[in-house]
Structure 1
Amino acid sequence: VIMWEKLGEVVSSWILSPVAGAVIAFLVFRSIVHFVFASGKPAEAAKKFGPIFIGMTFFIITLSLFTKTRLGNMLFTGMDQVMLLSLAVFAVSSVAGVFIVGKMTIGTGYEAVEYLFRKLQIITSCYVALSHGANDVANAIAPLSVVLTTALDSTSIVTGNFSYYLLALGGAGIAAGILTWGYKVIRTLGSKITALTNTRGFSVDFGTATTVLVASRLGLPISTSHTVVGAVIGVGLAKGLEAVDLSIVKKIIYSWALTLPVAITLSIVIYKGLMIVF
């Protein structure tokens, strides 16, 4: 039985997630432009505002880890405690960022800003990896978990007690995909849609990870790739529509439109084939 209402929610999330990623990335990059690049001393401004972005990153991660999760329910009795902890983590990580960034020798000018954000992007890239695991690994493992649950007559789906080896299998599969065919997607997202710098890349990472983590908390199986594309377009639009290669965007949208019907068709063919064989 197909739950059309739930399917509609999922498809809607595929549309909303790149839009949300684009909006967040756009706002982050515009804030960098306003508070850093437009200041009289961009390098000093970057050292001042960089730690704030670090704090925001750890704030969202902490909030996501402990809000309505098993670990959060074990450690905290209410949302107010989770919020207090998240704010404390924000404060501590921001202060730590001040000391770490303050010791960096980055020079002056715009190149110094890009150099600093190249270092900060390591943190946001880890942030993306966390959100990727929170959503895409679950998307990949869910069908396998259902099949094994049915075959083994287990109650792991009901209790949420998923086997760690299944999650490890999903993570290994994603890692293998990046090592083999991932370079093509990286090339498209990194250079073909719009020109990316370290500050733009930082904004893309932040917008993507935040959107995916929020969707994960809402239980929406969105695509990280969709969200990244939206975030890249968002930072491109911050420079103007002419900065975005619309021909590449059209090709990506066409491929998205084909994803669902192609997946449905292949699933039907494979299922019918297995039914005939077995």
Structure 2
Amino acid sequence: MAWAIGGANDAANSMSTAVGAKAITPPKQAVLIAGVLEFTGGAYFFGKSVTETIRKGILYPDKITDPNILVYGSVAALLAATIWLVIATKFGLPVSTTHSIIGGIVGYGIVYAGFSVVNWGGKMTQVVLSWILSPIIGAIMAFFVFKALTKSIFERNDPVKSSKIWSPFWVGLAFVVIGTMFYIKVLHGKDLGRGVIFYGIPAGLVVFLILFFALRAKFPSSDPFIGVESIFRRVQVITSGYVALAHGANDVANAIGPVAAVYAVATMGMAGMKVPVPRWILAMGGLGIALGVATYGYRVMETVGRRITELTNTRGFTIDFSAATVVLVASWLGLPISTTHVVVGAVIGVGLARGVKAINKDIVRDIIISWFVTVPVAALISASLFKVLMIVG
């Protein structure tokens, strides 16, 4: 399940822009970076230690009191999410893991207790909003960031001189976001101001100073455009690695949450509504993710990194920076944002900054369709599996 849920689809997103811009090459480097960071830095060491057996208010808990129903339902939801994600990955479609599992939970809930068991005005409304908000906000952010980066460097009379001034600024600004996101997404901090002051600004300042003095000594190339891309090529590996770390710390732990719920209910009954996630479960999830990236993730990397629009290192950097910023602000404001959808939206935004013709509209159409069918398809598969499990059980 972790192989499909985390590795083959979601985790591949973290490496897709770096692969598309040729900052790293699949499968070896992408597997090494994504696999190690997702497993050690994310899913295992920073994974959430508490999970809810009835996930985040999707179903009303008072309507499910039988522990066996919770076990069968969680297994059906995970299997349904796995099946759907394998199908989506087969066609290279980047879909939301969280939405897939939500669909699975809705499916078994409706079969067991009817439509009234679903909290339609809560979590489900947020899911629908995230379909709309995530790609739009990601695209707008990436569009303007890329325009600003282009004007500050590439459109100046002396791109080499401008690069020495502005490249450290943009890279430093990215690390302000990365440092702040580390505090909020990995360390689960709640105070945005504290994250910016004590994590973001120090990280950004250190990187700014290092790059500023390094560029004064020697510029990477006599060709200013090649030189700028070579600067951002190295930085993009770091930003993509951060996305993998944050993904492992959050989405992966969420994906294996139902497994921990099954384990808790099986060993403690309904008393285990909130339980620590055993480390061996996190370890199994992390291992599955690494294997998923290694064996199947290349399909999603190909779609996001190469088939939507042509990427360079500055464009890839823009996407990572924009996606990280949007997710950071959304997390702080409590807005329903899908990381997968934000990344795809940012790729589209960078393409639009170069003109509509730079976008592969057929691929974008297929991706959007896959987003809207994720919840209902996962729900139908889960409902069918739940009925079978109930009969067998």
What TM-score, normalized to structure 2?
0.62
Which residue does 2:151 correspond to in 1? Answer: 34
Residue type at the aligned position of 1:88: P
Say if 1:21 and 1:211, in contact at 8 Å, map to a contact too: yes
Which residue of 132, 153, 164 maps to 2:268?
Answer: 153
Aligned residue runs from structure 1 range 1-278, under 5 A: 1-4=117-120, 5-67=122-184, 72=189, 81-85=194-198, 86-102=200-216, 103-153=218-268, 158=274, 161-216=276-331, 222-278=337-393
- Distance of 2:205 and 2:153 partners within structure 1: 21
Say if 1:81 and 1:263 are closer, same or farther in 2 by CA, change over 3 A.
closer
Say if 1:63 and 1:82, in contact at 8 Å, map to a contact too: yes
- Distance of 2:187 and 2:309 partners within structure 1: 40
Identity %: 45
1:203-233 CA-to-partner distances (Å, cap 9, x unmatched) read 1122223333444556677543322211110
Q: CA deviation at 1:121?
A: 1.1
Say if 1:21 and 1:208, in contact at 8 Å, map to a contact too: yes
Bigger shift: 35-44 or 161-170? 161-170
Bigger shift: 91-100 or 79-88? 79-88
Of structures 1 and 2, the one with the larger relative CO (CA 8 A, separation 6+) is: 2
Say if 1:101 and 1:16 are closer, same or farther in 2 by CA, change over 3 A.
farther
Bigger shift: 119-128 or 84-93? 84-93
1:16-52 CA-to-partner distances (Å, cap 9, x unmatched) read 1222221222122111111000111223322322222
Bigger shift: 62-71 or 173-182? 62-71
Residue type at the aligned position of 1:48: I
- Distance of 2:229 and 2:192 partners within structure 1: 37
Bigger shift: 264-273 or 94-103? 94-103
Question: What is the alpha-carbon root mean square deviation over aligned residues?
Answer: 2.7
1:175-208 CA-to-partner distances (Å, cap 9, x unmatched) read 2222222111111112221111111111112222
Say if 1:158 and 1:240 are closer, same or farther in 2 by CA, change over 3 A.
same
Say if 1:63 and 1:268 are closer, same or farther in 2 by CA, change over 3 A.
same
- Distance of 1:116 and 1:79 partners within structure 2: 29
- Distance of 2:173 and 2:351 partners within structure 1: 23
Q: For this pair of structures, how many residues does the alignment match?
A: 273
What TM-score, normalized to structure 1?
0.85
Unaligned runs of 5+ in 1: none
Bigger shift: 107-116 or 96-105? 96-105
Which residue does 2:66 correspond to in 1? Answer: none
Say if 1:71 and 1:206 are closer, same or farther in 2 by CA, change over 3 A.
closer
Say if 1:57 and 1:127, in contact at 8 Å, map to a contact too: no
- Distance of 2:286 and 2:363 partners within structure 1: 29
Say if 2:180 and 2:196, in contact at 8 Å, map to a contact too: yes
Bigger shift: 255-264 or 135-144? 135-144
- Distance of 1:193 and 1:229 partners within structure 2: 9
